[in-house]
Amino acid sequence: MSFTSEFKEFALKGNVMDLAVGVIIGGAFGKIVDSMVKDLIMPLVNLITGGQIDFSNKYVVLSGTVPAGATLAEAQKVGNVFAYGSFLTIAINFIILAFVIFMMVKQMNRMKRAEPPAPPAPPAPTPEDVLLLREIRDALRK
């Protein structure tokens, strides 16, 4: 089998194609969740907290002289900073994404119909030699 035909057989298997579709849809779904967190959830959190929470610019200066009130990008240019706000945003994205996927799987499992139990298998035919031995046994009893 040539390398190209072997690769073609591998690439066209159902599992590989399903995985490729899953990765593509997952990437697009990740962008939707990022937008949902950034554009919908965080503004609501800021409204509830009085506009005081902006995770994107949360950092701790590790070295260098960073002016007070500098944005994360400005602080990174001037010194070494520990940008925990980006991590918090990504962690929130992950939690929301995991929750949405959990709800989707739960709904799909609910919609999935329970398969009826398989009918019992018919008894295996008795071998001929066993039947003959039974006839001999019954004849001897008589």
101-117 confidence digits (pLDDT tens): 788 888 888 887 767 77
The confidence score (pLDDT) of residue 140 equals 94
CATH code for 3-114? 1.10.1200.120
Q: How far apart are CA 140 and CA 81, in angstroms?
A: 98
Q: How far apart are CA 71 and CA 58, in angstroms?
A: 8
The confidence score (pLDDT) of residue 14 equals 66
Q: How far apart are CA 65 and CA 79, in angstroms?
A: 6
In the numeric block, which tokens belong to residue 76?
A: 């990174």
The Cβ-side half-sphere exposure at 80, using a 13 Å CA radius, reads 2
Q: 31-79, pLDDT tens digit by residue?
A: 887 788 778 877 887 788 777 666 777 888 787 777 777 877 888 788 7
What's the chain's average pLDDT?
Answer: 80
Whether the predicted pLDDT of 5 surpasses 80: yes
Residue length, the chain? 142
Which of 111, 3, 28 is closest to 36 using CA atoms? 28
Element (H, E) at 88: helix 84-111
In the numeric block, which tokens belong to residue 5?
A: 């035909």
Residue position matching structure tokens 């590790």: 62
The confidence score (pLDDT) of residue 52 equals 64
Q: Read off the DSSP letter of residue 112.
A: S
